[in-house]
Structure 1
Amino acid sequence: MSDTQTPLFRSRAQIHVSATPAEVYAVVTDLARSGEWSPECLGGEWTTGAPGAVGSVFHGENERSEDVVSWAPVVRGKWSTYAEVVAAEPGRTFQWAMHNSSGEKQDSVWGFSIEPDGEGSLLVHHFRMGAATEGITGITAGMDAGRKQQFFAEWGEKVAGDLATTLERIKVVIEKDPAGNGPVRTGA
């Protein structure tokens, strides 16, 4: 997984959250709750390692609607994924790499970065795919150069939209009730 090559996909979105970096980190690292904020991930469970620790693997359950890049042969309906935590610095960053069907990490990394921002935190959600994953290779296998370019453009827009939607939903979850104890109160 090299950062020196131009990535196939790279996207990021950010939002201010009225909570401390530690409070934000505690929520975004709880991948089992991701169904509360993700447009596709319904949640899941940790299958190996301590939840949220580097090297731990998360089994996610996902669902995609029929209208997502509807002309391309992407997975629709329900499917599952495995992802391995590759960075976990409390209050700062949390990243996971998607596994292929053989259980190997792919150059497809999702993550969150958090930094103090006034009375709260700046939460950044980012995605980077260096080389084509097993899934992208399969989707684009029968496409000519023009169709591949169209797919990459539309898929990139979809990912960017998903990142922004995820952040908006996380903000609501955290500011409403970060740990089941009522609204966040910062600066008190």
Structure 2
Amino acid sequence: MTRYLSDGVTTFQVETEIIVAASPYQVYAVVSDLARSGEWSVECRGGRWVEGTPGSVGAIFRGDNERGRETVAWAPVIRGPWQTEAEVVEAVPGKVFRWVILDSARRRQESVWSFEVEAVAGGTRLIHHYRLGRLTEGLSKIFSGLSEPDRERFVEEWNAKLAEDVQATVKRVKRVIENG
């Protein structure tokens, strides 16, 4: 079994941070409003809350996503529009907002996104993090059609893509908040 499919080993993990000239509560109010995510996300174009109180633990968000053809172009990933559902698993205003991607039966997968905020001189440190443990339902299908060398290549290239995406996201969040 490969290193990225072993129990307890993370497949994808990226994190970045930026300082935003606003309070932790202001930053949290923006990043916890997933319906606005189209303003800053590379792939999520927005969406809507479909269950629960928006932004609270247990609430479910249906995201509208879109991916271009150039993204890891050789791999059989979804291109164009698609939807995901995510459940909020932690929501502490001024501190952390965390959600997990659900599978087609609405079970939690080990695909976890978060924004963490903390007060620092000059504003707020915004940390954006993504971690994938076991392969999701969709990635399992992709991996089943890849050779071992291509699986390794995919993990390397997808981690690089994710790192670029989270970096772009925090820069866009900063711009949205600081430019009103």
TM-score, scaled relative to structure 1? 0.91
* Moved >4 Å (runs of 4+): none
Q: CA RMSD in A?
A: 0.9
Q: Give the drift of 1:176.
A: 0.7
Q: Which amino acid aligns with 2:29?
A: A
The yes-or-no answer on 1:140 pairing with 2:143 is: yes
Which residue of the partner structure matches residue 19 of structure 2?
Answer: 16
1:53 to 48, 56, 63: 56
Partner residue of 2:89?
Answer: 86
Of residues 6, 10, 21, the one that matches 1:7 is 10
Partner of 1:27: helix, strand, or coil? helix
Tell me which amino acid in the other structure corresponds to 2:123. G
1:145 shift after superposition:
1.1
Q: Determine helix, strand or coil for the equivalent of 1:39.
A: coil
| C-alpha separation in 1, matches of 2:160 and 2:120 | 27
1:52-131 maps to which residues of 2 (within 5 A)?
Answer: 52-131=55-134
* TM-score calculated relative to the size of structure 2: 0.95
1:17-51: CA deviations, max 9, x gaps?
00000000000001000000001000000001111
Query: Which residue of 156, 160, 169 maps to 2:163?
Result: 160
What are structure 1's unaligned runs of at least 5 residues? 178-188
1:68-105 Cα distance to aligned partner (Å, 9 max, x none): 00110000000001000011010000000001111111
Please say which of residues 140-149 and 21-30 is displaced more in the overlay.
140-149
2:25 is equivalent to residue 27 of structure 1: no
Unaligned stretches of 5+ residues in structure 2 = 1-6
Q: How many residues align?
A: 174
